[in-house]
Amino acid sequence: MKYKNAFNFKEKVILITGGGGDIGKEFARAFTECEGKTIVADISLEKAQEVSSEMNSYGGASLPVQVDVSNIKSIKFMVKKIIEKFGKIDILLNHAGINIRKPAVEFVDVDWEKVINVNLKGEFFVAQEVGKYMIKEKRGKIINTASVSAVRGHPNLAIYAASKGGIVQFTKVLANEWAKFNINVNAIGPGYLLTKQTRPLLDDKEKYNSILNKIPMRRLGTPADIAGAALFLASDLSDYITGQTIFIEGGRLID
């Protein structure tokens, strides 16, 4: 093990779904700085192009791709396109996701379908399609995105929590089935982060202070906190870690 080269991803091809968001963009920046080739995939081609263009302006090698992860045909087309262009996918950052906040009694079946189809169905079938290729190559790193909500009963997040709990569990199953192919499957579980998605919620000063008081480190997370864990799980340093969910939440789960 050459420790000083652990975070050099030169010649590695990294697929980032949900790459147009704040965290996806930080993933792209982190791996670009470490010389990886990034594929920024998002349902919004415009957002994917913006992130990819920024990575290329840094001297990186990045390609934007449009994908609807709730549509299996779209997933298959995306993976096929990447394999045709790059010949491989070394690392998957399986990050596309959405959220709807409501009291449990107010959810309707359309809400369920939207969240589950993107978060749970989408992550599973992206992992499956990329996994098929990795099984042939007998190597690969898959990093799914779960959440602290997978293990905590936060109000107004019933469907989101269900989707993220499912991700934690199928991560374990894929890790078990694919370990013999030298494929590591893990997940990251962010807590509250400062992003565009959470800004409206955190603008409520009372809610903001309530959240901070439950975090031992007394600060919210940032996309960089999440990207650091992703770099570790994608590196050779994590070769003996699989089936795990690393919660990145400033100690919120300690108590």
Residues annotated as catalytic are 160
CA distance 171 to 124: 9
H helix runs in the chain, sequence order: 22-33, 45-57, 72-86, 109-116, 123-137, 158-178, 199-202, 205-212, 223-234
CA distance 13 to 28: 11
Strand arrangement, sheet containing 183-190: 61-66, 37-42, 13-17, 91-94, 140-145, 183-190, 245-248
CA distance 60 to 223: 20
Cα–Cα nearest to 235, from 48, 6, 66, 15: 6
Q: Determine the longest span between alpha carbons in the chain, in angstroms.
A: 54
Phi-psi region of 59 (alpha: psi -120 to 50; beta: other; left: phi over 0): left
The encoded tokens of residue 166 equal 């499912």
The encoded tokens of residue 125 equal 């079938």
Q: List all residues 6 or more positions away from 220 whose beta carbon is below 8 Å from its beta carbon.
A: 191, 192, 193, 194, 202, 211, 212, 250
Contact 36, 9 (CB under 8 A): yes
Residue where the block lists tokens 């480190």: 217
